[in-house]
Amino acid sequence: MINNDVLRSVRYMLDLSDGMVVDTILLADPAFNVDPAQVHDFLRKDDEPLFETCPDAVLARFLDGLIYHFRGRDESQPQRPPEKRITNNIVL
């Protein structure tokens, strides 16, 4: 599993723009530093010149942000820390 493929697939499946991907990441962690240009580099094909590997920290926050976007945040619970290592089981 390559993080870039997961990010690319979910983005196209939900028809999200680069800015919406950034907003989703910031929904999970507003202090996380990511910008649309960096997300665009994550979404490039592997053989393109400006391709950048998507780190686990970005994908974890993106997936958490999707959950917060669609299900909402439980304010009675403390915010859980993002996963340090992303595996296939966590993605599913």
Full domain range(s) for residue 19? 3-91
Residue 89: predicted pLDDT: 61
* pTM of the complete model: 0.82
Residue 23: predicted pLDDT: 94
What is the Cα–Cα distance from 69 to 13, expressed in whole angstroms? 15
Residue 34 CA from chain centroid, whole number: 10
DSSP E strands in 15-54: the ranges are none
Residue 39: predicted pLDDT: 92
Q: How many domains does the chain have?
A: 1
Torsion over CA: 8, 36, 92, 71 (sign):
negative
Residue 1: predicted pLDDT: 63
Residue 38: predicted pLDDT: 92
Q: Which residues of the chain have pLDDT under 50?
A: none
Residue 87: predicted pLDDT: 66
Report residue 21 as tokens: 């991907």
